[in-house]
């Protein structure tokens, strides 16, 4: 069973004269532990695809299935609960919450997925250690470098053992060395935790850190 | 290398967020410490304002009640049309008191003369200015008559015709102490005692001998009221007998007379106090609304990330309301502490203003502020529903 399956997904964004076809009959699969590199120019529909896979946008046509659950059949509340448990995010900007420490930022994702605070904190600490940033646990996000923040963001995306991690240009605002480190950690941990990863990027240098490359142009897989 | 999907991730499971997420959300979404402190102080000042108004209202009400309903006073007899101590209509012939004493069930009856007098210290102050205050004077049968001063702070009740006992706020305003001489409507008298709980804010009580009251006011052989002590359980029967015997008189139980007097005292300023108190509560609610609205606007991208991660609008909203409520409770409790400190300080250093803080008022104020704060916090939450989780993807 694939962790992610998009079957003939189409999506139009905007209304009336401003409507544009963001995705056109896209079919995409990702197995558990597989990293799929989704590359394409700006405006090709990469973020729309990630949002549909996360259930944040609804497809106009086609079907989205994540770890056996068909998203179109879920109520909004069930979809939100499902997303908390089954999806992890790594955004272009790490978007850690400044009010929380690094450890708490990671633990929060686990508690939102249903874990109690103590095991969530333990799991977060373990993951930060695996990423080599355990020394940052008590620090506030604003005191971290970009690379450190993004590594914490990777920990946050995986702490609740999701079926799917959606990474939206996670290395775009990092230097190459930091970007490599982040991509490498993401690939290793996703394999260990058997999470499918869809990593959107402009940067083809990340290809060695993916199992497969998919090109998206004008909303179509090429 | 692709591997089979993990059975540890049942996609259809619907586990509620863990018990730890609420406290983490609270920590994540709370306002900055400085802003939170400023809001708390603002709320404390609002609740202090309301508590001071309540206490200022309670003080004269309690003064009136403690005098009128003091032990040993069962009935108040007044001219028809006069149902309270504060505003009186006409006087009664003094000799009626002898007839009252003859009524079965009456254990004692005494006349009271209630007049306003001008009190002036005998000596002028160092600047040659003459201080004077108008006081609500009660002339009674000194030294053993009914309805004397209810609570003595220092000294004693008047013992002779040249003695007066006056409220401590009046003594403070006049700069008088025990044994000092003052003029009451140009009669020289001596301060024999100072009372507490007799400050009506607008005026204060002064107690003196009935004869002095008559000569100082020119009202000879007249009384404002008669007070009656009855035998145990005879209050209603004695009241009926007095009404039968003197149809031209009004008779009230002490409780009823006290209630009427409280009503009369409060009538003038309660609407204004209520309006100011309402404005204080509204100011608190608006402060909380601004705080929460600010949090929602300022943290929009954080909130979008949380929503993308699966946090519900309801849990974020209740977190914000809980945070605001905590500040409101802290602010109103701080206001209560400040009110107690202020009441103590005024009592010690400026007795002119007496604040009576009741535990019930403290509790009600904290409860009202908490409710107003919760309403204030809820109103900006509709904006949460307009936050798009896709914001999290935007750079």
Residue B5 has pLDDT above 50, yes or no: no
Residue B88 has pLDDT above 90, yes or no: no
**Residue B164: which pLDDT band, with cuts at 50, 70 and 90?**
very high
Rounded Cα gap, residues A57 and A161, in angstroms: 23
B328 sits in the region (left: phi over 0; alpha: psi -120 to 50; else beta) called alpha
Rounded Cα gap, residues B129 and A125, in angstroms: 78
Question: Strand, helix or coil at A92?
Answer: coil
Say yes or no for a CB contact (<8 Å) between A67 and B11.
Answer: yes
Say yes or no for a CB contact (<8 Å) between A81 and B14.
Answer: yes
Establish whether the linkage from the previous residue to A43 is cis, with ω within 30° of 0: no
Rounded Cα gap, residues B21 and B31, in angstroms: 18
Say yes or no for a CB contact (<8 Å) between B309 and A84.
Answer: yes
**Residue B2: which pLDDT band, with cuts at 50, 70 and 90?**
very low
**Closest B-chain CA to A211:** B1
**B17 in A contact zone (CB under 8 Å):** yes
Give A182's contacts (C-beta < 8 A, 6+ positions apart). Answer: A147, A150, A151, A154, A170, A171, A174
Question: H or E segment at B354?
Answer: none
Per-residue pLDDT tens over the stretch B93-133: 999 999 999 999 999 999 999 999 999 998 765 555 678 89
The neighbour count for residue B220, using CB atoms within 10 Å, is: 10
Cβ pair A63, A1 in contact under 8 A: no
Would you call A202 exposed, middle or buried from its count of C-beta atoms within 10 A (0-12, 13-18, 19+)?
A: middle
Cα separation of the two ends of chain A: 24
What DSSP letter does each residue of B104-133 carry, written as one string?
TTEEEEEEEEEEEEEEEESS--TTS----E
**B303 in A contact zone (CB under 8 Å):** no
Say yes or no for a CB contact (<8 Å) between A32 and B25.
Answer: no
Say yes or no for a CB contact (<8 Å) between A100 and B4.
Answer: no
Residue B285 has pLDDT above 90, yes or no: yes
Say yes or no for a CB contact (<8 Å) between B392 and A51.
Answer: no
Going from the C-alpha of A208 to that of each of A32, A146, A165, A186, B278, the distances in angstroms are 18, 22, 18, 12, 68
**Residue B14: which pLDDT band, with cuts at 50, 70 and 90?**
very low
**Closest B-chain CA to A101:** B28
Say yes or no for a CB contact (<8 Å) between A82 and B28.
Answer: no
Going from the N-terminus, what domains does chain A have, and what CATH number goes with each? 32-58+75-221 (3.40.50.300)
Query: In a mutagenesis test of the A interface, which of B2, B14, B387 is the best target, namely the one with the most A β-carbons within 10 Å?
Result: B2
Q: Which residues pair with B223 in a beta bridge?
A: B92
**B295 in A contact zone (CB under 8 Å):** no
**Residue B345: which pLDDT band, with cuts at 50, 70 and 90?**
very high
B76 sits in the region (left: phi over 0; alpha: psi -120 to 50; else beta) called beta
Question: H or E segment at B249?
Answer: strand B249-253
**B312 in A contact zone (CB under 8 Å):** yes
Say yes or no for a CB contact (<8 Å) between A32 and B5.
Answer: yes
Per-residue pLDDT tens over the stretch B298-321: 889 899 999 999 999 999 999 999
Say yes or no for a CB contact (<8 Å) between A99 and B16.
Answer: no
Say yes or no for a CB contact (<8 Å) between B6 and A98.
Answer: no
What are the φ/ψ torsions at residue A69 (nearest 5 degrees)? -105, 125
Nearest neighbour of A66 by CB, restricted to B8, B11, B25: B11
State the average pLDDT for chain B: 89
pLDDT attached to residue B382: 86
Nearest neighbour of A67 by CB, restricted to B5, B23, B308: B5
pLDDT attached to residue B128: 55
pLDDT attached to residue B127: 56
**B390 in A contact zone (CB under 8 Å):** yes
Residue B20 has pLDDT above 80, yes or no: no
Per-residue pLDDT tens over the stretch B187-208: 999 999 999 888 887 789 999 9
Is this prediction's ipTM beyond 0.85? Answer: yes
Task: Provide, as residue numbers in chain B, all residues whose Cβ is less than 8 Å from the Cβ of A69.
Answer: 11-12
Task: Provide, as residue numbers in chain A, all residues whose Cβ is less than 8 Å from the Cβ of B21.
Answer: 108, 111-112, 117
pLDDT attached to residue B25: 85
Cβ pair B165, B193 in contact under 8 A: yes
Profile chain A (222 residues) by mean pLDDT over runs of 10 residues: 91 86 93 95 92 94 92 90 94 91 96 93 95 94 94 96 95 90 94 95 92 94 87
pLDDT attached to residue A104: 96
CA distance B7 to chain A (A): 9
CA distance A68 to chain B (A): 6
By DSSP bridging, strand A20-30 and strand A4-13 are antiparallel
Rounded Cα gap, residues A82 and B14, in angstroms: 7
Q: Could you say which DSSP state residue A17 is in?
A: G
**B322 in A contact zone (CB under 8 Å):** no
Per-residue pLDDT tens over the stretch A199-212: 999 888 999 999 99
Q: Which residues pair with B3 in a beta bridge?
A: A32
Q: Could you say which DSSP state residue B30 is in?
A: P
Rounded Cα gap, residues B173 and B99, in angstroms: 41
Query: In a mutagenesis test of the B interface, which of A85, A200, A214 is the best target, namely the one with the most B β-carbons within 10 Å?
Result: A85
Q: What is the mean pLDDT of residues B68-96?
A: 92
pLDDT attached to residue B32: 81
Rounded Cα gap, residues A63 and B392, in angstroms: 24
**B393 in A contact zone (CB under 8 Å):** yes
**Closest A-chain CA to B303:** A97
**Closest A-chain CA to B19:** A116
Say yes or no for a CB contact (<8 Å) between B4 and A85.
Answer: no
Per-residue pLDDT tens over the stretch A7-31: 999 999 888 888 888 999 999 999 9
């Amino acid at each position: 069973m694939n962790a992610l399956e998009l079957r003939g997904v189409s999506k139009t964004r905007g209304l009336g004269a401003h409507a544009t076809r963001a995705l056109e009959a896209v079919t995409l699969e990702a197995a558990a532990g597989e990293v799929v590199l989704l590359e394409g120019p700006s405006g090709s529909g990469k973020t729309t695809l990630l949002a549909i896979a996360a259930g944040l946008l609804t497809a106009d046509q086609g079907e989205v299935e994540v770890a056996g659950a068909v998203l179109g059949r879920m109520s909004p509340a069930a979809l939100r609960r499902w997303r908390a448990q089954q999806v992890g995010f790594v955004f272009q900007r790490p978007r850690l919450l400044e009010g929380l420490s690094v450890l708490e930022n990671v633990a929060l994702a686990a508690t939102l997925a249903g874990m109690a605070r103590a095991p969530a904190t333990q799991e977060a600490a373990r993951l930060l250690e695996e990423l080599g940033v355990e020394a940052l646990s008590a620090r506030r996000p604003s005191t971290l470098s970009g690379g450190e923040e993004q590594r914490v963001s990777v920990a946050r995306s995986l702490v609740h053992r999701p079926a799917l991690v959606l990474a939206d240009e996670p290395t775009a605002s990092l230097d190459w060395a930091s970007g490599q480190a982040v991509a490498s950690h993401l690939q290793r941990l996703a394999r260990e935790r058997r999470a499918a990863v869809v990593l959107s990027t402009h940067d083809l240098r990340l290809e060695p850190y993916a199992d497969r490359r998919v090109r998206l142009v004008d909303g179509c897989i090429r | 290398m692709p591997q089979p999907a993990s059975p540890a991730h049942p996609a259809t499971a619907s586990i509620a967020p863990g018990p730890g997420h609420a406290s983490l959300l609270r920590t994540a979404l709370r306002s900055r410490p400085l802003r939170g402190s400023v809001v708390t102080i603002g709320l404390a000042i609002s609740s202090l304002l309301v508590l001071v108004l309540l206490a200022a209202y309670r003080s004269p009400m309690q003064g009136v009640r403690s005098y009128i309903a003091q032990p040993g006073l069962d009935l108040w007899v007044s001219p028809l049309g006069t149902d309270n101590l504060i505003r009186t209509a006409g006087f009664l012939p003094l000799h009626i008191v002898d007839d009252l004493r003859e009524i079965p069930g009456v254990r004692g009856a005494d006349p009271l003369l209630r007049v306003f007098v001008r009190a002036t210290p005998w000596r002028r102050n160092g600047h040659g200015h003459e201080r004077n205050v108008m006081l609500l004077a009660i002339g009674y049968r000194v030294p053993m008559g009914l309805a004397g001063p209810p609570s003595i702070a220092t000294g004693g009740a008047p013992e002779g015709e040249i003695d007066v006992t006056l409220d401590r706020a009046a003594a403070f305003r006049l700069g008088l102490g025990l044994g000092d001489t003052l003029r009451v409507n140009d009669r020289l008298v001596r301060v024999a005692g100072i009372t507490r709980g007799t400050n009506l804010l607008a005026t204060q009580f002064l107690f003196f001998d009935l004869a002095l009251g008559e000569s100082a006011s020119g009202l000879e052989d007249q009384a404002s009221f008669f007070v009656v002590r009855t035998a145990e359980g005879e209050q209603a029967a004695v009241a009926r007998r007095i009404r039968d015997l003197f149809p031209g008189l009004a008779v009230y139980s002490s409780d009823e007379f006290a209630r009427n007097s409280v009503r009369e005292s409060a009538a003038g300023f309660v609407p204004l106090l209520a309006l100011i108190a309402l404005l204080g509560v509204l100011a608190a609610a608006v402060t909380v609304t601004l705080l929460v609205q600010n949090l929602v606007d300022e943290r929009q991208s954080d909130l979008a990330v949380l929503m993308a991660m699966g946090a519900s609008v309801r849990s974020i909203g209740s977190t914000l309301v809980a945070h605001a409520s905590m500040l409101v409770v802290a602010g109103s409790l701080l206001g209560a502490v400040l009110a107690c400190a202020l009441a103590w300080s005024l009592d010690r250093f400026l007795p002119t203003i007496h604040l009576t803080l009741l535990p019930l008022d403290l509790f009600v104020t904290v409860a009202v502020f908490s409710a107003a704060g919760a309403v204030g916090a809820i109103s900006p939450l509709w904006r949460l529903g307009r936050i798009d989780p896709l914001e999290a993807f935007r750079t």
